[in-house]
Amino acid sequence: MVRHTPYSVIVTYVEDCQQLIVQAVEPAKLTTLVAGKLEMPILLDEYDFKLDDEFARRLGVAMLNLIALGQPNIEKYMNVTQQPIED
């Protein structure tokens, strides 16, 4: 398996193209850029360290909601369940 250095993931909605762009960036290059910006810690112990399908779904919904705060036009494409889905 190919080894990668640690990186952060940036998700950007480009409204003109109606695309989500995902980029991998070295965390050190983002340090000054993200200083003082909105931060949403997600504590893995609150999820029993289970990064399963439901965790991934909720993370994705949170990312879309955050993008929609700044670019509300994306909401017309969103049809997601906001609360956890019970088994």
Residues in the chain: 87
How far is the CA of 70 from the CAs of 41, 43, 55, 63, in angstroms? 19, 24, 24, 12
Report the DSSP pairing between strands 8-14 and 19-25.
antiparallel
**What residues contact 22, with CB distance under 8 A and at least 6 apart?**
9, 10, 11, 12
Mean of per-residue pLDDT scores for the chain:
92
pLDDT at 86 > cutoff 90: no
- What pLDDT score was predicted for residue 47? 92
pLDDT at 82 > cutoff 90: no
Confidence band of 87 (pLDDT split at 50, 70, 90): low
- What pLDDT score was predicted for residue 7? 94
Q: Is 44 helix (H, G, I), strand (E, B) or coil?
A: helix
Model confidence over 19-78: pLDDT tens digits? Answer: 999 999 999 999 999 999 988 899 999 999 999 999 999 999 999 999 999 999 999 999
